[in-house]
Chain A
Amino acid sequence: MRHINVIGLTVIAVLLSVGPAAGQQKVSLADNAALRYWAAFSQLQDAAITDEQAKELNSVLDKMGPFDISKYNDLIQKNTPALDIMARGTLLPNCDWGLDYGLGENVPVDYARKALALGRLNILYTIHLYHSGNKDGAIGALAAGLRFSHDLANGGSLFATLAAKDLLVTHLTAAGDALRMGQLSAAQRSRLQKAVAVLGDGLDWRAAAKRDLDALAAHYSGDSRASLALSRVASSYAAFLKDESDLPSLMDAINHAPPELAQLIPSPKRVEEQKQELSDKIQQTRMLLQ
């Protein structure tokens, strides 16, 4: 009887360990949203715009004020294939940018800059679809843009996270405007609701800050004093991003670090502001969606 119990437990243990492994193998390496996003970047088409149009674009992306979208029809049409590829990529559950942090501070982060351009184009595309009467398309583009913006920060440094936050806030502002206009159907509201729900609490700021500080640690590996100071800053930074009341401890760690190191530490106050702004925006949008 005892032997039977042992065999039974062993079989259950083996099944439990094999189950998730088999599930993981089912996810193909090609089903990586980041690869689709790179394909979308490669399809980005540039267009010449005047300084005035550039100012207008920035203003629109900042405040979502009224403007003549028809002036950008050519830019939008040229980039629709890239935006479609991006939107299809957002349907994949996994996004791994494959960043090689073994390169230390030389990790290329150009993808974040390209993502910023693509994400902003997506906002113009959303506005274009909305004003041409295709509200389903506009909400679909917004939902895809939210997912894409969130994916941008996956495994990324502080820079990528800040770019992701910037795109998320812009997309959420556009979603808020669409909701305030009150012309969305129940299905469209539901789609937006799901897209915002996926965002969770926002972005993983602690992991992003840690990656930046780890890259600095590699740079100062030969300097024991700086390494020790950096180690203290890193743990204080992680504690601060969990609980902002730990700011004095972090500032103390930064102030006691060698000056050449201290000046490379991302400003805790500014990082916290960015984190808070995104958090507030998500909450506002959720309230509008209720």
Chain B
Amino acid sequence: MPNLDDERFEKYLKQFRPLAPDRLPIEIRLAPRRNSALAIWAVGATAIVIMGVASLWIVNHRITSQPNHSASVNLPTRTPSLTMRHANDLLVKAPSYKAVMNELAFPPKSSASSNDKQSALAVLSEEKIKL
């Protein structure tokens, strides 16, 4: 006496057929890597181009804007940071207060000023010490 349930189950299983395996996903992964490498190169190249253009623009801008600066007020540069030694040297060696004042308040003007104006703060910083 055949077992009908077994036969039915066998028939059910026979419906399934072996399938050919898919290709390994390695190639699929390789494609984006190539893309990202290309993207990095593209970004790098663009950055270099932008930086080059920007630096050229800055240089050109400086050159073209130099004549305009001469028309503006050219304040003398401030004196470098003052230390105790420098201050004491000035106090000891200066023949008068006026000399200390000039040393600190009127630093040599960088480029010949186009006008006779000077820094108000430099004038107000002048010493009046008669040492």
**A positions within 8 Å CB-CB of B:** 44, 46-51, 53-54, 57-58, 61-62, 75, 104-110, 112-114, 116-117, 120-121, 157-159, 162-163, 166, 212, 215, 263-267, 270-271, 273-274
Contact = CB atoms under 8 A, between A and B. Distances in A.
Contacts of A212: 84, 88
Contacts of B88: 105, 157-159, 212, 215, 264, 266
Contacts of A116: 124-127
A23 B28 CA distance: 74
The 4 A-B residue pairs with the shortest CB-CB distance, nearest first, are A105-B85, A159-B87, A48-B117, A48-B73
Nearest to B101: A58
A166 B129 CA distance: 7
Interface stretch (B53-61, B62-70, B75-83): B75-83
Given A48-B118, A54-B118, A120-B124, A109 B129 contact: no
B82 A108 contact: yes
Contacts of A106: 83-85
B108 to A, nearest CB: 16
Given A48-B73, A110-B82, A267 B92 contact: yes
Interface in B95-131: 104, 116-121, 123-131
Given A49-B118, A117-B125, A162-B91, A274 B84 contact: no
Contact of A46 (B75, B81, B83, B116): B75
A163 B129 contact: yes
A105 B91 contact: no
* Residue with the highest number of chain B CB atoms closer than 10 Å, among A48, A109, A158, A270: A48
Contacts of B130: 270, 273-274
Contacts of B123: 49, 54, 57-58
A48 B92 contact: no
Given A113-B104, A266-B88, A162 B131 contact: yes
A166 B128 contact: yes
Contact of A113 (B82, B116, B117, B118): B82
A113 B92 contact: no
Q: How large is the interface on B (under 10, 10 to 19, 20 to 34, 35 or more residues)?
A: 20 to 34
A109 B129 CA distance: 15
Nearest to B125: A117
Contacts of B126: 58, 116
Given A121-B124, A263-B92, A51 B118 contact: yes
A273 B97 CA distance: 13
Contacts of B119: 46, 48-49
A39 to B, nearest CB: 17
Contact of B84 (A61, A109, A270): A109
Given A113-B82, A113-B104, A159-B88, A75 B120 contact: yes
Nearest to A162: B129
A70 B83 CA distance: 36
A157 B131 contact: no
B92 to A, nearest CB: 6
Nearest to A72: B120
* Residue with the highest number of chain A CB atoms closer than 10 Å, among B85, B87, B131: B87
Given A116-B125, A120-B125, A265-B92, 6 more contacts: A54-B118, A105-B83, A108-B82, A113-B104, A266-B131, A270-B130
B23 to A, nearest CB: 68
A109 B131 contact: no
Given A48-B119, A109-B87, A274 B92 contact: no
